Structure 1
């Protein structure tokens, strides 16, 4: 297969995945708005509704960020602009996405701590602590990766 055909296939699939993830992010945002509206109109627990809304919003933002990364790295990446060094590409894209995942995980852990504290379920605090600890390890691993793959000056 020649370079122009493989570039066309790569751009087509990258564009397709970009639109899929943008659509998912939009669907998550619409779901968030509907859930907030429904909870307010029904007079539901406002604190619980906002905690769930934070989770949903952060997940939507992570999906949107993934669509942006796919679009930036793969769509219209012509051979003269092509980046052959995989480590350079990873160093450019991973911190944004991993950072967003870490934000989502740490918020999830903190929200679980708040929920379990309000419901007097202190015995279940192992789960949010495990999530927050795992997030710290993920962030540390990202920092180590960035440190070990930096270009010497």
Structure 2
């Protein structure tokens, strides 16, 4: 990684762990983390050392978190807590600020679609419902880290 700007929220557009797919280097598909609907967290690369394939040109600057489910579904309460735990860890480890951003250059909690074509052209990732939950995640990450 070139810089530790923060975390990018993604949606899996599917159910169940993507471990098999993310563990196959030939596919060039992975994320730093994945959070299940039940709040289970899986980590696929050594964040800060290795890069995942999640957001192409953004991989050198941001860590990534895939979330189980579909863009038309909000994150479950367990997922909100799981993503907040990931963000809290990043805050303590890399100093990620407790802020929501809609940018590919600012530090904080952004989303995959913000990156446009340079980030694999997924404008609807993670979906409006999940994007709207980022302030709640940041608030909980703040509680977990003492603000």
Note whether the superposition's TM-score is higher than 0.5.
no
Q: State the TM-score, normalized to the length of structure 1.
A: 0.26
* Higher-Rg member (1/2): 1
| Structure (1 or 2) with the greater strand fraction | 2
| Structure (1 or 2) with the greater helix fraction | 1
